Amino acid sequence: MVEPARDGSPDVFVRHWVNRVHGYWRPELCPMETVTLDTLAGAVERAVERGEALWAETRKGPTGQPETPGRTGAAGAGSGPVHVEFLLPFDLLNHDMARLELGTGVPRPRPIGMHYRVHLRSLDRMRGDAGQLRRWQARWDQLRTATAPAAHRWKAADRDGFERWHARLAGDESLTAVILDAPAVQGHGLEALRAAVAEGVGVAAWDRRADGNSQSSELLTLLLGHTYTQLPEKVHRLRAGAEIEEDGPLWVGRHIAFFWDDPYRLVDREELLSA
């Protein structure tokens, strides 16, 4: 969770949770740090290192040896890729979290998105009311049972007809994802993203660049043609390819923002409200 202090200082508060066992959602709250956006990468790296240490410990058996396949308890703690989810207020959702650098103490640090599946989540909605949670779960349940997400695309031309765009989204719970043809910043796609979050949409994608083009949106439309379980890996491959190729800085994978907000993976909302 990254939250600006909003007291005139550059401070941001960083809190994190680590889910110890794969397939069982019981995140553990870890200590808070106060940093700035310029030093955020260090705090994220420390959080990830704490997670790696906990996962390594969980994978050990009663004798301190690694668990063998088929054992109960901690078995499966290291199964599959690791997901790092950034819980952010709306005004930080366009910040490039996937390229925060890990390994700052080595000659060539690498973006976090090269090693982990990185998603954005809404801090505002996590702190929302029961009505928001109900709408959020309803859309996500539709997403899980559909062949692929049903995307509601927001285009620049929709600025003039925003109420109609919003009304269509609000009236059709089968729409489970949003594609923005502009970055999620004030005056561009942010209003549409806010509306989508309020209506319960849990998946969104956009090109973070202010000068994104129609090709970006078409690629994102193709991306959201996959089943919801495939999306994190597909986004990861886009990001990895953009880091490897010589002209990668021009690719959508270098600039994609991927919003993946699962209502069944909540952190302690009472703890958040008391912060």
Q: What DSSP letter does each residue of the chain carry, written as one string? A: -EEE--SSSSEEEE--EEE-STT---EEE---EEEEGGGHHHHHHHHHHHHHHHHHHHTB-TTSSBPPTT-STTTTTT-S--EEEEEE-GGGTTS-GGGPEE-TTSSS-EEHHHHSEEEEEEHHHHT--HHHHHHHHHHHHHHHHSSS--EEEE-GGGGTTHHHHHHHHHH-TT--EEEESS-SSTTTTHHHHHHHHHTT--EEEEE-STT--HHHHHHHHHHTTS-TTTHHHHHHHHHHHHHHSTTGGGSHHHHEEEEE--TTS---HHHHHT-
Distance CA 248, CA 111 (A): 14
Backbone angles phi, psi at 196, to 5 degrees: -65, -40
The pLDDT of residue 195 is: 96
pLDDT tens sequence across 22-40: 888 999 999 999 999 999 9
Residue 158 has pLDDT above 80, yes or no: no
Helix axes 190-198, 162-171, angle to 10 degrees: 20
- Mean pLDDT (whole number) for 164-188: 93
> Phi/psi class of residue 30: alpha, beta or left (left: φ > 0; alpha: ψ in -120 to 50)?
beta
248: pLDDT confidence band, cut at 50, 70 and 90? confident
Residue 99 has pLDDT above 90, yes or no: yes
Residue 63 has pLDDT above 70, yes or no: no
Residue 174 has pLDDT above 50, yes or no: yes
Would you report the helix, strand and coil content of the chain in percent, each value rounded to 5?
40, 20, 40
77: pLDDT confidence band, cut at 50, 70 and 90? very low
Q: What is the percentage of the chain residues whose pLDDT exceeds 70?
A: 88
**Alpha carbon separation from 222 to 82, 125, 146, 234, 269 (Å, rounded):** 24, 27, 16, 11, 35
Bridge-based pairing of strands 17-19 and 117-122 is: unpaired
By three-state DSSP, how is residue 101 classified?
strand
pLDDT tens sequence across 121-156: 999 999 999 999 999 999 999 999 999 999 999 987
Cα 68 off chain centre by = 32
- Mean pLDDT (whole number) for 265-272: 72
Q: 223 and 235 in contact (C-beta within 8 Å)? A: yes
pTM to 2 decimal places: 0.89
- Which pair of tokens denotes residue 69? 């396949």
217: pLDDT confidence band, cut at 50, 70 and 90? confident
Length of the chain: 275
Helix axes 214-223, 231-244, angle to 10 degrees: 140
